[in-house]
C-alpha cells in the first residue's frame, strides 16, 4: 500500500508540473512574469493556510528558520522567477528539457550530501535519460540557445536541484505537509518585491486568465509540491529525482496539444530513451538493503 501511495504521489507531481510550462506560456502574454509568480504563490499560500486550519502544523524550531527561509528562496523564489522570466522567449517544450537536467544534478548532489548510492544499472539509466534529453534538444531544431532567457531556465534547474537535496534532512524533523507549507510561505514572501502593481494588473486581466493562474497556484503549486515532498520523504532523492525525467516528454505532448508546438521525430526517440532510463533506475538503480545481522 505504501508503494502505491508513493507511486501515486510521484505520478500526480509529474503530471501537474508538466502542465506548468504550457500554462506559463499561455499566461505570459497577459501577465508580467513577476506578477504571475507572485499571484500564483499567493494563491498557493492561501490554500495551504486554509488546510493548516484543518490540520494544525508543528511549530518550526527557531534554529531551523534560516534553513527554511533558504529552502524557500531556492525552491520557490529563485526557481519560479528564473523559470517564468526565462519562458518569455524559451518555448514550453524547450524549457521543460532544460529543467529536466535537474534529475542528473540531484543524483550527483545526493552522493556527497546525503550519502546515497546508485548501482551500475542506476547510473546507466541516468546517463540514458540524460542522452534522451539531449536528443530532444536536437530534435526541437535548436529551440534551446545559449541566450539570457535559456540561462535563466538553467538557473531554475540548478536551484530546484539544490532545494530537493537540501530539503531531504529536514523531512526527518517535520511532516511532509508542514515542511512544504513552510517553504512555500517563505518563498512567497521573498517574491513580493516583484509584485509591485499587481492589484492593477489583476483588475485588467480577463477572468479566464486569472482562472489559469488559480490552477497554477492550487494544483502545480500547493498540491504538487506536497505530493513531491511526501514521496521525497520516503525514497532516496536520487531515485525520486530520476522520475522527473518523465516531465519533459509529457510537457512536450501538452505543448503540442495546447500551444501547437509540434515535436520532431528525434524528440520522440529521446522520450523513449528517457522512459527507458527512468525504468532502469526505478527497478535496478538501488543497491540491495543489507540483511540485518
Tens-digit pLDDT profile for residues 246-286: 888 899 889 888 888 776 677 778 778 877 877 777 676 66
86 and 26 in contact (C-beta within 8 Å)?
no
Rounded Cα distance, 230 and 93, in Å: 27
> 205-221 burial string, b = 16+ CB within 10 Å, else e?
beeebbebbbbbbbbbb
Phi, psi of 10 (to 5 degrees): -65, -45
> 160-171 burial string, b = 16+ CB within 10 Å, else e?
bbbbbbbbbebb
Rounded Cα distance, 270 and 274, in Å: 6
Rounded Cα distance, 31 and 39, in Å: 10
Residue of 29, 59, 85, 15 whose CA lies nearest to 205:
29
Rounded Cα distance, 12 and 86, in Å: 25
Least confident of 115-119, 126-130, 244-248, 288-292: 288-292
Tens-digit pLDDT profile for residues 25-83: 999 999 999 999 999 999 999 999 999 998 889 999 999 999 999 999 999 999 999 99
- Is the pTM value of this prediction over 0.85? no
Q: At what angle do helices 92-99 and 148-167 cross, to 10 degrees?
A: 40
Mean pLDDT of the 110-122 span? 73
Mean pLDDT of the chain: 85
**Cell output for 26:** 499561455
Comparing 147 with 186, the larger pLDDT belongs to 186
Comparing 77 with 2, the larger pLDDT belongs to 77
- The per-residue pLDDT for 139 is 66
C-alpha separations of 2 from 7, 52, 231 in Å? 9, 24, 10
Rounded Cα distance, 180 and 39, in Å: 18
Amino acid at each position: 500500500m505504501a508503494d502505491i501511495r508513493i507511486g501515486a504521489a510521484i505520478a500526480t507531481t509529474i503530471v501537474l508540473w508538466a502542465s506548468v510550462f504550457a500554462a506559463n506560456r499561455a499566461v505570459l502574454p497577459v501577465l508580467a512574469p513577476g506578477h504571475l509568480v507572485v499571484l500564483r504563490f499567493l494563491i498557493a499560500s492561501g490554500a495551504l493556510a486554509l488546510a493548516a486550519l484543518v490540520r494544525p502544523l508543528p511549530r518550526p524550531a527557531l534554529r531551523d528558520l534560516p534553513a527554511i527561509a533558504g529552502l524557500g528562496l531556492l525552491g520557490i523564489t529563485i526557481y519560479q522567477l528564473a523559470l517564468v522570466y526565462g519562458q518569455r522567449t524559451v518555448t514550453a517544450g524547450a524549457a521543460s528539457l532544460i529543467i529536466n537536467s535537474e534529475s542528473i544534478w540531484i543524483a550527483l548532489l545526493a552522493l556527497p550530501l546525503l550519502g546515497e548510492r546508485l548501482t551500475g544499472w542506476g547510473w546507466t539509466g541516468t546517463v540514458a535519460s540524460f542522452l534522451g534529453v539531449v536528443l530532444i534538444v536536437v530534435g526541437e531544431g535548436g529551440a534551446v540557445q545559449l541566450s539570457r532567457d535559456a540561462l535563466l531556465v538553467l538557473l531554475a534547474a540548478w536551484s530546484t536541484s539544490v532545494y530537493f537535496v537540501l530539503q531531504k534532512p529536514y523531512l526527518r524533523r517535520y511532516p511532509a505537509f508542514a515542511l512544504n507549507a513552510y517553504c512555500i510561505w517563505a518563498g512567497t514572501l521573498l517574491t513580493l518585491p516583484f509584485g509591485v502593481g499587481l492589484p492593477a494588473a489583476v483588475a485588467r486581466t480577463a477572468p479566464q486568465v486569472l482562472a489559469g493562474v488559480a490552477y497554477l497556484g492550487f494544483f502545480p503549486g500547493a498540491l504538487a509540491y506536497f505530493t513531491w515532498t511526501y514521496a521525497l520523504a520516503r525514497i532516496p532523492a536520487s531515485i525520486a529525482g530520476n522520475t522527473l525525467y518523465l516531465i519533459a516528454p509529457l510537457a512536450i505532448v501538452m505543448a503540442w496539444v495546447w500551444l501547437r508546438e509540434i515535436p520532431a521525430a528525434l524528440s520522440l526517440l529521446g522520450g523513449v530513451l528517457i522512459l527507458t532510463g527512468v525504468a532502469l533506475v526505478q527497478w535496478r538503480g538501488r543497491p540491495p538493503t543489507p540483511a540485518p545481522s
